[in-house]
Amino acid sequence: MAFDKKQLEAGESLTTEYKREYTEELKKTIVAFANTDGGTLYIGINDDKSILGVDKPDAVLLQITNAVRSSIKPDLTMFVNYKTEKVGKAVIIVVTVQKGTACPYYLAGKGIRPEGVYVRQGPSSVPASETVIRNMIKETDGEKYEKLHSLNQDLTFIDTAEEFEIKGLEFGMPQMVSLKLAVTEGVFSNLGLLLSDQSTHTLKAAVFEGLEKDVFKDRREFTGSLLKQLNEVYSFLDMFNHTNAKIKGLYREDQRDYPEDALREALLNALVHRDYAFSSSTLISIFEDRIEFVSVGGLPKGVSLDDIFLGISVPKNENLANVFYRLHLIEAYGTGIPKIMRSYINCFKKPELQATANVFKITLPNRNTTASQAKVYLPLYTENERDVIIMLADKEEIVRKDVESALSVSQAMAVRILRSLIDKQAIRAIGSGKNTKYIKAHTDISPWVNQ
């Protein structure tokens, strides 16, 4: 199509721009067209709309194509068309840019930041605000945080590469693309950011004296790649996982405060299932009688706490979970919480799970303080009720007849004892009628601890 002089008279607009000659500024215009509604760039036309033409158009055309190929990310070449056109005695270059499908496009040397991302605003190309950039990312990638383009593209992976090497796994750009750390070669996702040395998300741990958050004994903040945080935080927790020795007959029996499987799974859960769209840190609080893991982000829509106890898993960060799975940190989806509960199967007090719209919390009780706590709080129960609680310390479940036999009471009395324990949230009933079974409540002694 021949050059339309009527369009020249109309002047520059949202989709039209004139350049006297090739300059580095030309790349900003191409980026802006690709990020907005597309447009046409005419090189060889002065600001006063006079047509001067381009000297050595073939050389200039080569400059432009090379600049688009090497200086604009993601790859925009398939959305840009170039041609030379003779207008009178002058030769101009016409660069037609379509709106791209992988916005935001940016200058490779500047990154996905306002100084690297441009949009059209009337007849001008201007830096995009961070809000505009985030909206473009969401429109392109969807709402999943880990799948979005990282705003920081200047990332290194020293710690993550070392972790892969330890496991005997390759970790290069092809693997990054396959594992979704990179959207395309050289363009990193937020998952890449989370596993990079430049990760902006942190984990904070604090050790308190006693049972409340009154006196700090120690506090730490862990930074860097999530894999680095995982290793360092677990080592930190291990320092406070003391061993208690008991003598049974001729034998010594050692028991750590917290089952190692439970600590590991609670920590993995806090990292894998938190919502990284929020900047708040993951929090771990260590008390004399418990450790609390608090991560931002409630349960996925449609999933309840009962579902979690049954092993249902809908990871908020499925690609991050997949990386942890590849590194053998996760055995299979949905096994973490059941494994935590099994590690306390013979303990009087069980782990607690709590969830709100924006927070998920796991509390692991200190096994070596459970017995002493039980002695303190069991007097709140009748003698018969205490006997039932002790029965359930050794059994996963009991039925009404077990209570009748063990306590030498009538059927009616056994029913009253069990109903009283249910009211006090010490036990739960499963089933109905003669087939009803009774198990320890997930919250165990916490309801009466707070009385």
Look at residue 316 and tell me if it is in a domain: no
Look at residue 254 and tell me if it is in a domain: yes
Domain's final residue, options 369, 393, 427: 369
- Cα–Cα distance, 266 to 38 (Å, whole number): 49
Q: Are 106 and 248 in the same domain?
A: no
Q: Are 218 and 115 in the same domain?
A: no
Specify the pLDDT at position 46: 85
Q: Are 131 and 216 in the same domain?
A: no
**Number of domains the chain contains:** 3
Domain's final residue, options 138, 165, 192: 138
Q: Are 129 and 72 in the same domain?
A: yes
Integer CA distances (angstroms), 308 to 238, 302, 328, 428, in order = 26, 11, 21, 17
Q: Is 92 helix (H, G, I), strand (E, B) or coil?
A: strand
Look at residue 353 and tell me if it is in a domain: yes
Specify the pLDDT at position 120: 95
pLDDT in tens, 288-329: 999 999 998 877 666 677 777 766 667 778 899 999 999 999
CATH at residue 394: 1.10.10.10
- Residue 48 has which token pair? 């006063």
CATH at residue 23: 3.30.950.30
Q: Is 311 helix (H, G, I), strand (E, B) or coil?
A: coil
- From 192, 198, 285, 193, select the one nearest 233 (Cα to Cα): 285
Expressed as residue numbers, the domain containing 422 is 381-449
- From 223, 331, 337, 206, select the one nearest 269 (Cα to Cα): 337
- Cα–Cα distance, 254 to 124 (Å, whole number): 73
Q: Are 109 and 246 in the same domain?
A: no
Q: Are 385 and 414 in the same domain?
A: yes
Q: Are 394 and 364 in the same domain?
A: no
Domain's final residue, options 315, 336, 369: 369
Look at residue 414 and tell me if it is in a domain: yes
Rounded to 10 deg, the angle between the 158-166 and 226-239 helix axes is 70
Q: Are 335 and 409 in the same domain?
A: no
For every one of its 451 residues, what pLDDT tens digit does the chain have, with 9 covering 90 and above?
A: 456 666 666 778 898 899 989 888 899 999 999 999 999 999 998 877 888 889 898 999 999 999 999 999 888 988 999 998 888 888 999 999 999 888 889 998 888 889 999 999 998 999 999 888 878 877 775 567 898 888 888 999 999 999 999 999 999 999 999 999 998 888 899 999 999 999 999 999 999 998 888 888 999 999 999 999 999 999 999 999 988 876 666 667 788 899 999 999 999 999 988 888 888 899 999 999 999 999 988 776 666 777 777 666 677 788 999 999 999 998 766 678 888 888 887 777 889 988 887 888 999 999 888 655 554 444 467 888 888 887 887 678 899 999 998 899 999 999 999 998 888 778 888 888 778 999 887 544 443 433 3
- From 331, 239, 246, 255, select the one nearest 291 (Cα to Cα): 239
CATH at residue 251: 3.30.565.60
Look at residue 198 and tell me if it is in a domain: no
pLDDT in tens, 124-146: 999 999 888 878 877 775 567 89
Look at residue 331 and tell me if it is in a domain: yes
Look at residue 42 and tell me if it is in a domain: yes
Look at residue 168 and tell me if it is in a domain: no
Q: Are 90 and 216 in the same domain?
A: no
By CB atoms closer than 10 A (0-12, 13-18, 19+), residue 140 is middle
- Cα–Cα distance, 94 to 111 (Å, whole number): 27
Beta bridge partners of residue 85, listed in sequence order: 92
- Cα–Cα distance, 82 to 100 (Å, whole number): 16
Q: Are 336 and 398 in the same domain?
A: no
Q: Are 339 and 297 in the same domain?
A: yes
Q: Are 332 and 352 in the same domain?
A: yes
